[in-house]
Structure 1
Amino acid sequence: MYSFALALQFLTRIPVPFSFIASDRQLGLSVLYYPLIGLLIGAIVTLLAVLTEGAGEGLQAALLLTVWVMLTGGLHLDGLADCADAWAGGLGDRQRTLEIMKDPAAGPMAVIMLVLLLLLKWTALVEILVDGDLTVLWCAPLLGRAALLQLMLSAPYVRKQGLAETLIQNLPRLPGAVLVLIIVALVFAVLGLIPLLAAALMSLLVYALAMQRLGGMTGDVYGATVELVEMAVLLTVAIA
C-alpha cells in the first residue's frame, strides 16, 4: 500500500490522503508500481476521451494532452527539456552535460524539443481519435513507465547519493524483469508488434546515447525516456 502511494506521489500530482515515512525497502518496491501508475494515467485519459466524444478531434486532443501533462505535473517533460539543453550545450563533455542538467533554466533547445514533442503528440492524438480505437491511450503511458523500469534494471545510475540511487539499490530485480515481460506480452496482444518495436527502439536509443555521453542514467534521462517512448507509440499507431 505504502509503496503504491509512493509511486503515485512521485509520478503524478494526484494527492495521497495520508503521510508516512518510507523505508528503503518500500522505496525500492515503489518502482514496481510505476507501470501501474502509467496504466492509471492512461485510464483517466481514456475516460476523458469517452466523455468528450462529439467535440472536434482537434479540441478533444488538446484537452487530452493537457490533462495528460497536468496529471504528471510536467515531471517527465522537465527531464526531456534538461536533456535537450545538456546534449546541445555539453559539447560531448560528460561533466559539463551533467552540470547543465542540474541547471533549472530552460534554454532554446529545451523549448524547441518540448514544442516539437507536444505538437507530435497532439497530431497523433487527433489521428487516433478520428480512427476511434482508444486502446493506445492506456498502452502508451504503460509502456513509457515500463521502459523507465527496464532502464533502472539494466543501466547504472551516475549521480551518487540521489533518490534514484536508493530506489535502484532496493529494487527487486527478478520481479521487475518479470513485470516488464508481462507488460510486453500484454501490449503485443493488444497493439501488435510495430508499436512495441517503436517503444523498444526509442528506449534503446536513449540507453545508447546516455551510456555514450554519461556512462549511465540520471533522473532527467528517465523522464525523457517516458516522454519519447509515449510519443513513439502514439505516432506509430497514428501512422499505421
Structure 2
Amino acid sequence: MSKTASGASLPDSLRFAFGTLTVLPVKVTRWDRDAARGGMLCAPLAGLVVGAGAALTGVALLAMGSGPLLAAVATAAVPAALTRGLHLDGLADTADGLGSGKPAEDALRIMKQSDIGPFGVITLLFVLLAQVAGLAQAYEASWGRGVLAAVVPAAAARLALTLAARTSVPAARPGGLGAAVAGTVPVRGALLVAAAVTGVAAGAGALVGRYDTVRAAVAVGLALLAAELLLRHCVRRFGGVTGDVFGGLAETAATTALVILSLG
C-alpha cells in the first residue's frame, strides 16, 4: 500500500485529515504521530473539498437567480457547517485568550471555557463580515471569481495548519488535537506542500483571468504570512499551540486570502 512521507499509508493519512478537519463520515483508523503527520500533510486536500462544496452552493444559488450577497452568505456558511464551526470556535477562543492579557496558564484556562467572551464575539463578527463581503464582491465580478474565492482560501486555511504543525512548533499543553499534531510535520515536507498548493492556486487563477494567476498565488502567500504572524504571537503568549490556535490560524489564513482575491 502506498505511503506518504509520514510513514503512514495514504488512506490512513487521508482519513486522519478528513476525519479531524471535517464532519464528513470518515472513520479515523489510526491515531498516532505517523498518522497525524500524514493527515497534516494532506490537510489542504480537505480544504479543497470544503471549498468545492462552498463554491458549488454559491454557484447553484446564482444559477437559481439569487444575488451575489445571498450566494456569499451561503458560501461562507458551508465551511462552518462542514467543520461544525470548529475553526470559528477556535478563533473566538484564541481571541479571548490573547485579549485577556493574562499569563499563559490563565489564558489557556479561559480558552477552554465553553462560553465566548467579548473579544471572541467581536473577532467573529468582523471576520464573518469580511468573508461575506469579500465573497459578494468576487461573485459580483463573475461566478468564476466567486469559485476561486471559495476554493483557494479554504485550501490556504488548511495549508496554514500544515505549516503550524511543523517540528519546531511545540504544543502549549498535553492532550487534545493540538498536542496530537503539534511538531509532527518536517519543515521540508511542509514547504513542499506549500509550494504545491501555491502552484495549484495559481493554475486555478489562470483559468479565471490573466491577472488572477498572480492574485491567487499572492493570496496564498499573504494568507500564510498572516497565519505565521499569529502563530508566533500565540507561541510567545501561550508557550505553544492548541486546537483553538489551529482554528484561529485557519480562519485568519482564509480571511486574508479571501480579501486579497476580492480586490481589483
TM-score exceeds 0.5: yes
Determine the C-alpha separation between the residues in 2 that align with 1:165 and 1:117.
26
CA RMSD of aligned residues (A): 2.0
Say if 2:127 is the partner of 1:103.
no
CA change 1:161–1:14 in 2 (3 A) is: closer
71, 76, 80: which is aligned to 1:69? 80
Tell me whether 130-139 or 157-166 shows the greater mean CA deviation.
Answer: 157-166
What corresponds to 1:184 in structure 2?
Answer: 198
1:237 is aligned to 2:256: no
Unaligned runs of 5+ in 1: none
1:23, distance to aligned residue in structure 2 (A): 4.3
Stretches of structure 2 that go unaligned for 5 or more consecutive residues are 1-10, 206-212
Deviation larger for 146-155 or 121-130: 146-155
User: Of 50, 71, 75, which residue of structure 1 is paired with 2:59?
Assistant: 50
- Percent identity, aligned pairs only? 28
Report the CA distance shift for 1:32/1:194 in structure 2 as closer, same or farther (over 3 A): closer
Distance 2:75 2:201 in 1: 21
Partner of 1:218: 242
Cα gap change, 1:163/1:120 in structure 2, threshold over 3 Å: closer, same or farther?
Answer: closer
Q: What is the CA distance between 1:143 and its match in structure 2? A: 0.7
Partners of 2:134 and 2:258 within 8 A in 1 = yes
Q: Does 1:137 align with 2:133?
A: no
CA contact (8 A) 2:15 2:29 kept: no
SS in 1 for 2:42: helix
Structure 1 partner of 2:98 = 87
Q: CA deviation at 1:170?
A: 4.5
The residue type equivalent to 1:30 in the other structure is G
Runs of 4+ with >6 A deviation:
none
Q: Which residues in structure 2 correspond to 1:190-205 (within 5 Å)?
A: 190=205, 191-192=213-214, 193-205=217-229
Structure 1 residue 235 displacement after superposition:
1.0
The residue aligned with 1:157 is 171
Deviations 1:57-79 (A, max 9, x none): 11111111122210111010011
The whole-number CA distance in structure 1 between the counterparts of 2:221 and 2:37 is: 28
Q: TM-score by structure 1 length?
A: 0.90
Conservation of the 8 A alpha-carbon contact between 1:2 and 1:22: no
Q: Contact 2:157 / 2:253 at 8 angstroms: preserved in 1?
A: yes
Alignment size in residue pairs:
238
- The Cα of 1:21 is off from its aligned counterpart by 5.0
Name the CA distance, whole Å, in 1 between partners of 2:98 and 2:187.
30
For 1:40, the equivalent position in structure 2 comes to 49
Q: Which secondary structure state, in structure 2, belongs to the residue aligned with residue 137 of structure 1?
A: helix
Question: In structure 1, what residue type is equivalent to 2:236?
Answer: Q
Q: Deviations over 1:65-102 (max 9, x none)?
A: 1222101110100111101111122x242221111111
Three-state SS of the structure 1 residue aligned to 2:150 is: helix
Determine which of 25, 28, 31 is the counterpart of 2:40. Answer: 31
> Whose RCO is larger (CA < 8 A, sep 6+)?
1
Q: Does the 8 Å CA contact 2:162/2:185 hold for their aligned counterparts? A: no
Please identify, of 176-185 and 18-27, the stretch whose mean Cα deviation from structure 2 is larger. 18-27
Secondary structure (helix, strand or coil) at the match of 1:52 reads: helix
- The Cα of 1:131 is off from its aligned counterpart by 0.9
On the 8 A contact 1:28/1:166 being kept in 2, the answer is no
